[in-house]
Amino acid sequence: RRTTPRTPRHVRSLEMRVAAISLLFLTAIGTELGDLTHEVVELQKELAAQKVILEDQEHRFEQLEASSSRRLQTAYLTTATFNTKVSTIESSLKGLFGALDSAWLCLCGALVMFMHAGFAMLETGCCRAKNASNVLMKNLVNVCAGTLGWWSFGWAFAYGSASTNGFIGWHGFFGFDMYTYDSRTGNITPVDCQ
């Protein structure tokens, strides 16, 4: 009588464990594959819906391109009407532009004067007390010389008529032709306001 060799008990236990783990692993993979298949189906449905929306938008765009009435207000406003309205607005605002230029010039001049006063205080504070009056006098002379320089040359360079070069003004040095004087009434009128 021949007997088959028996496997030890701990080997059979190990085989059972491996089989159980393999079964669990295959069950988990099957569950994940089922979930992945479900997600792929949902994404395909979403893609189909997006294709329908895109085709609808393309159809609408083709209709808009075919329509000749969709333009930038050409039916409401012609070029001639537009140019007429712009020239009317420009002529009515010409006085405003001159006033804004003068206001800007006055504002900048006031800021420069405050800058000079601040710099005079800074210099006076940084020197000895015996030199304070000299520093203040130097700053006062600086402001006076700058004002005379602007009157004699600056205005002409900045606002004088530039008939030849288009870059710098060559008219209005030393206040020449900055105003007109009416000897009958004694009125002084700026050149731009005649």
| Mean pLDDT, the chain, whole residue set | 79
Pair 175, 187: CB distance under 8 Å? no
What element of type H or E holds 181?
strand 179-181
Task: Encode pLDDT of 47-98 as tens digits.
Answer: 899 999 999 999 888 887 777 665 555 556 777 888 898 888 888 787 777 7
User: Which has more pLDDT, 156 or 133?
Assistant: 133
Quick one: residue 2, left, alpha or beta (phi over 0 = left, psi -120 to 50 = alpha)? beta
**Cα 82 to chain centroid, rounded:** 28
Stretch 126-133: mean pLDDT: 90
Task: Encode pLDDT of 4-35 as tens digits.
Answer: 555 556 566 667 777 778 877 777 777 777 77
Please, which pLDDT band fits residue 145 given cuts at 50, 70 and 90?
very high
Pair 146, 155: CB distance under 8 Å? no
Q: What is the pTM of this model?
A: 0.42
Three-class SS state of 2: coil
Stretch 158-185: mean pLDDT: 75
